[in-house]
Amino acid sequence: MKSATIQEQAARRVFPTFDLSTLLKSTFAPREGQRICILIDLPDPARMKNFAFLKNPELPIQANAVNFFHKPLHARVMKELGLQGGGIFAYKITGGSNLDLPDEAVTPEGTSVSLEKDIYPDHDIILCVSTYSATAPLTAFAKQYKFRGATLHGVNPTILRTGLSVSYDDVSIDAEKMRLGMTKADWVEIDFLYSGKTHTLRLELGGQEAQKSHGLCRGDEPDVANLPAGEIYFVPTGASGQFPMRYENGTIGLMHVANGRIQKAELLNGDADTITAHNAKLVSDPVTGELGELGFGTQILPTSGRDIQDEKILGTIHVATGRSDHLGGGLTPDKFAEHLNATHDDILFAPHKTSEIWVTQARMHRDGKTKVLIENYEPSDYILDLRK
């Protein structure tokens, strides 16, 4: 009998009801008296006054921050966990993934505050529910100001119902099993099938220790969890080959990779101007093409339409370009020619996201042996055996 696919398993899975208290206990194990707050991003932070932004139906993420995080905190969660604070602050939307955050924020009373002077030093736990990921900048601030945090960009009903309702102790156990089976790999090769032709990307890993995003951010060490969690990742030491990429407008380009970076993009289908613009960016700011992450999902979850959850699904794979300092890499914002280019952009390959591009196989070389990790977006027997 054919084994059920990951998505078939996810469809049958029963998830607990989302509960903020349970999530905070699972992720942070907070101590009585610790101070907590919430950050959101808004096109116009002045609309934070009296929660005026809630009248705008085009801001569902920020509405979820109020309804599922801020209100429960004040209704019962802070009392249950003995927490203090509970403020919510809005900063101006950055416009890109992992761009540095502005310092000014606005309170519900309409008061302007400084994140670096008033918020970061005064809180033990900071939740950031935003449009764009703030993991990289918030990680840097956590180390500087000694707080713990979680970034939850793109939160929608599916994520609340599934990815944020799981036990992160269980997620951590599954991730560690996979991590041990992949750590200290020499390289990973990925075969991509597009329009009848196979392209191969090779990522050098140099025997490094694999890292895991597992949703646990306990203890006193400054740290930021990316939620939903559940992935194994590496910061490549080099990369070469080719891979097709789907742009947001549906254009498909072939990325030519050498010396760890995308050197140029070639049009395969769609809008030629999109490729021209990308190539101009690669010339003017070459580090934007650096492959700074290779990640593998570890969870059995339904697709949510948001990469923050969908890249955590077992059988998916993602690479990322740009900033890598929050992952232990050396590409920091100051190395970009333009501030607005200093993003960390995940490129997710998954059946629902890149149906035109098929990952026929991903394989790892370690200890003198090559092991298949993924075939046709399903985990290999090697990966499944690790999870037993």
Strands 291-297 and 261-269 turn out to be unpaired
pLDDT (mean) for 108-120: 98
**Is pLDDT at 77 greater than 50 in this prediction?**
yes
Distance CA 298, CA 379 (A): 9
Question: Model confidence over 287-311: pLDDT tens digits?
Answer: 999 999 999 999 999 999 999 999 9
Question: Model confidence over 337-346: pLDDT tens digits?
Answer: 999 999 999 9
**Is pLDDT at 257 greater than 70 in this prediction?**
yes
Confidence class of residue 118 from pLDDT cuts 50, 70 and 90? Answer: very high
Note the pLDDT of residue 2: 54
Q: 192 φ, ψ to 5°?
A: -115, 130
Question: Model confidence over 323-367: pLDDT tens digits?
Answer: 999 999 999 999 999 999 999 999 999 999 999 999 999 999 999
CA angle at residue 312 from 191 to 339, to 5 degrees? 85
Distance CA 94, CA 112 (A): 17
**Is pLDDT at 1 greater than 50 in this prediction?**
no
Strands annotated E in the chain? 35-42, 84-92, 104-106, 112-114, 125-129, 148-151, 187-194, 197-204, 211-213, 223-226, 231-234, 238-246, 252-258, 261-269, 291-297, 317-322, 344-349, 358-366, 369-375, 378-379
Note the pLDDT of residue 321: 97
CA angle at residue 337 from 333 to 339, to 5 degrees? 50
Question: Model confidence over 139-148: pLDDT tens digits?
Answer: 999 999 999 9
Distance CA 199, CA 191 (A): 6
Distance CA 304, CA 258 (A): 33
pLDDT (mean) for 237-245: 98
Cβ atoms 234, 211 nearer than 8 A = yes
Tokens representing residue 120 in the block: 């970061």
Mean model confidence pLDDT for the chain: 97
User: What are the residue boundaries of the structural domains of the chain, listed by start?
Assistant: 17-161, 168-386
Cβ atoms 152, 165 nearer than 8 A = no
pLDDT (mean) for 105-112: 98
Question: Model confidence over 84-93: pLDDT tens digits?
Answer: 999 999 999 9
Q: In this structure, how many other beta carbons lie within 10 angstroms of the beta carbon of residue 382?
A: 15
pTM of the model: 0.95
% of the chain surpassing 90 pLDDT: 98
Note the pLDDT of residue 109: 98
Instruction: Check if CATH label 3.40.50 holds for domain 17-161.
Output: yes
**Is pLDDT at 277 greater than 80 in this prediction?**
yes
Cite the DSSP H helix spans in the chain.
6-12, 20-28, 60-65, 71-72, 78-81, 135-145, 157-161, 168-182, 272-284, 307-310, 381-386
